[in-house]
């Protein structure tokens, strides 16, 4: 046994009997911590020296004291690294796993969702029927036959915009922060809170906006106006598609039928003032008012209302006019009323209505005209 081994044996013996100085104890602890082999040598020495119960108790007490000191020794003198007890290492692993798991859960479950396009909500009033729609903002809309109304499902959150093809009457709920806009193929109508009618059938040459109360602003959808067009109560704007000539027709109640002044506007609208909107919007009510309307235009409305198709035997028959108030009459009742006031006759075959002249009535009409 060399000097170093003899020196360590002496240190072991002195430690077990509690006779080590602080410096000697520090040297022994550093030596044991330096390698696993040294620790095993120390344990073997303790085991070999447990010759009696008394010495065994002393040895155990000495070993417990040494363990406490070994655990409190935090710096390895050989490698200069921090040595932690096993329970601290396990706790650190658990905390790290928890943090990583929490972070992963946050990023995987709270990642921003992909932007979803708004869904389109669509209402259709087919030919032969009319519909009523109450909007999420409380606005009320009546749809005439052959009309489609569409809007996005986030309506009312950032905008109040609807797309219209056909004819509809609008009763707008007031919301100064979010104007209500009706978009047609060529023009847009914007209102805050008002009542108005829009007729914008794709197959017709014009788009008409009739204001009942409040005010609306008209703007070009596919073009830009040089100036704003504002409608007030009892005014109607007529936009002719693909027509650059704009007229302002200004009439008053006393001379509406007698004369009209025409003035060019810097826009694409014909504005008719001082009108009675009742006949225009009566299509949505039980009493449908027809105000001296030519059969050519009236037949288009009847086609949508009753889902039929009109065929005129003579184009001149379209110039005859009809006026009256209808209350939910059948198509045949309407045609009988028209026949009673005009020299025409009709035949209904399935979904087709044939209009032809009534020769006997025509002779009476001509005779009266000659007189």
pLDDT tens, residue by residue, 103-143: 555 545 665 566 677 899 999 999 999 999 999 999 999 99
pLDDT on residue 365? 64
Quickly state the pLDDT bin for 29 (edges 50, 70, 90): confident
Strands (E), the chain: 120-125, 131-134, 140-143, 147-152, 160-171, 180-183, 187-191, 195-200, 206-213, 215-220, 229-232, 235-240, 247-250, 261-264, 269-272, 287-294, 309-312, 321-327, 344-349, 352-357
Q: Which residue has the higher pLDDT, 51 or 127?
A: 127
Q: With cut-offs at 50, 70 and 90, classify the pLDDT of residue 250.
A: very low
The Cα–Cα gap between 128 and 133 comes to 17
Report the range out of 104-108, 241-245, 306-310, 337-341 with the highest average pLDDT. 306-310
Using pLDDT thresholds of 50, 70 and 90, give the confidence band for residue 24: confident
Does 87 score more than 60 pLDDT? Answer: no
Q: Cα(297)–Cα(164) distance, rounded to whole angstroms?
A: 21
Per DSSP, the residues of 95-122 read: HHHHHHHHHHHHHHHSSPPPPPPPPEEE
Check: CB of residue 281 under 8 Å from CB of residue 197.
yes
Render pLDDT for 251-285 as a digit per residue (tens, 0 to 9). Answer: 344 333 333 333 334 346 889 999 999 999 999 99
Nearest to residue 269, comparing CAs of 197, 338, 209? 209
pLDDT of residue 228: 77
Residue 65 — pLDDT band, cuts 50, 70, 90?
A: low
Tokens standing for residue 34: 């330096």
194-247, pLDDT tens digit by residue? 999 999 999 999 999 999 999 999 998 877 877 778 999 999 999 988 753 334
pLDDT value at position 92?
A: 56
| Structure token pair of residue 230 | 């504002």
Question: Which two structure tokens, joined as six digits, stand for 120?
Answer: 């389109």
pLDDT at residue 12 in the model: 73
**Long-range contacts at 69-74 (CB < 8 A, ≥ 24 apart):** 69/25, 69/29, 70/29, 70/32, 70/33, 73/29, 73/30, 73/33
Q: What is the mean pLDDT of residues 150-171?
A: 95
> Cα angle vertex 225, ends 219, 228, to 5°?
65
Q: Average per-residue pLDDT in the chain?
A: 79
Arithmetic mean of pLDDT, 349-363? 89
pLDDT at residue 72 is higher than 50: yes
Phi and psi at 90, nearest 5°, equal -65, -40
Average pLDDT over every residue of 287-291? 92
Phi-psi region at 179: left, alpha or beta (left = phi > 0; alpha = psi -120 to 50): beta
The conformation of residue 317, written as its DSSP 8-state character, comes to G
Higher pLDDT, residue 22 or 170: 170
pLDDT at 2: 41
């Amino acid at each position: 046994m060399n000097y170093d081994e003899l020196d360590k044996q002496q240190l072991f013996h002195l430690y077990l009997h509690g006779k080590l100085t602080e410096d000697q104890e520090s040297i022994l602890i550093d030596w044991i911590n330096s390698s696993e082999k040294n620790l095993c040598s120390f344990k073997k020495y303790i085991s070999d020296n447990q010759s009696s119960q008394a010495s065994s108790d002393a040895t155990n007490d000495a070993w417990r004291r040494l363990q406490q000191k070994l655990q409190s020794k935090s710096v390895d003198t050989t490698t200069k690294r921090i040595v932690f007890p096993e329970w601290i290492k396990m706790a650190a692993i658990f905390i790290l796993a928890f943090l990583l798991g929490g972070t992963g859960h946050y990023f995987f479950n709270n990642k921003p969702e992909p932007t979803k396009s708004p869904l389109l909500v669509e209402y259709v009033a087919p030919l032969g029927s009319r519909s009523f729609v109450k909007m999420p903002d409380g606005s009320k809309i009546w749809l005439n036959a052959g009309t489609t109304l569409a809007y996005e499902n986030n309506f009312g959150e950032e905008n109040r915009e609807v797309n219209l093809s056909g004819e509809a009457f609008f009763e707008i709920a007031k919301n100064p922060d979010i104007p209500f806009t009706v978009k047609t193929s060529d023009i847009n109508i914007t209102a805050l809170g008002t009542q108005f009618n829009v007729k914008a059938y794709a197959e017709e040459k014009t788009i008409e906006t009739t204001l009942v109360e409040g005010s609306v602003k008209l703007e070009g959808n596919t073009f830009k106006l040089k100036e704003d067009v504002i409608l007030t109560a009892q005014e109607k704007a007529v936009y002719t598609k693909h027509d650059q000539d704009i007229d302002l027709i200004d009439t008053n109640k006393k001379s509406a039928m007698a004369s009209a002044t025409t003035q060019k506007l810097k826009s694409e609208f014909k504005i008719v003032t001082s009108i009675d909107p009742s006949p225009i919007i009566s299509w949505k009510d039980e009493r449908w008012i027809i105000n001296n309307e030519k059969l050519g235009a009236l037949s288009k409305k009847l086609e949508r209302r009753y889902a039929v198709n009109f065929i005129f035997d003579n184009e001149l028959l379209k110039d005859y006019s009809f006026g009256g108030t209808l209350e939910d009459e059948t198509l045949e009742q309407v045609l009988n009323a028209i026949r009673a006031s005009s020299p025409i006759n009709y035949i209904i075959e399935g979904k087709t209505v044939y209009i032809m002249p009534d020769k006997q009535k025509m002779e009476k009409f001509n005779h009266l005209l000659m007189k």
